[in-house]
Amino acid sequence: MDEASVANIVHPQGEIDLSTVPILRNALSAAVSLGRHVIVDLSDVTFIDSTGFRELLIHRRVCRENDRLMVLVNPRERVQRVIDMLNFFQMIPVYRTMETAQTSLKGVPLPGAR
């Protein structure tokens, strides 16, 4: 997990499916527990199935319950097609670049921030 100025960054790699979703779950749980917004960098994800999307939604809910946001960034074309087909971008915002994702979060205050 990396850290940007406004969020923690989770950078999963390869295929996200039933056998690998526990790795994503652990990374998301760690990022969410740090009390910041979360950016999930999908640039190295070659495939994601329903278990992966479900895991993203679970952690998005935890973020929202704690007044934080989760966004996705830079999905590969194959992953983007599934995101589009499912209208997943309506549940979790998707940005083409890390810069635009970070910019989108800069104006969103965290709980306890002044």
CATH number at residue 54: 3.30.750.24
pLDDT at 113 > cutoff 60? no
Amino acid in position 114: R
Q: Does 112 map to a domain?
A: no
Measured CA to CA, the distance from residue 67 to residue 38 in angstroms comes to: 12
Q: Which two tokens stand for residue 39?
A: 């950016």
Mean pLDDT taken over the chain: 91
Decide if 113 is inside a domain: no
Residue-wise pLDDT tens digits, 43-83: 999 999 999 999 999 999 999 999 999 999 999 999 999 99
Of residues 108 and 98, more confidence is placed in 98
Q: Where are the alpha helices (DSSP H) in the chain?
A: 21-33, 50-65, 77-86, 98-106
Residue whose C-alpha is closest to residue 42's, from 26, 56, 54, 60: 56
Domain count, the chain: 1
pLDDT of 107 > 80? The answer is no
110 inside domain: no
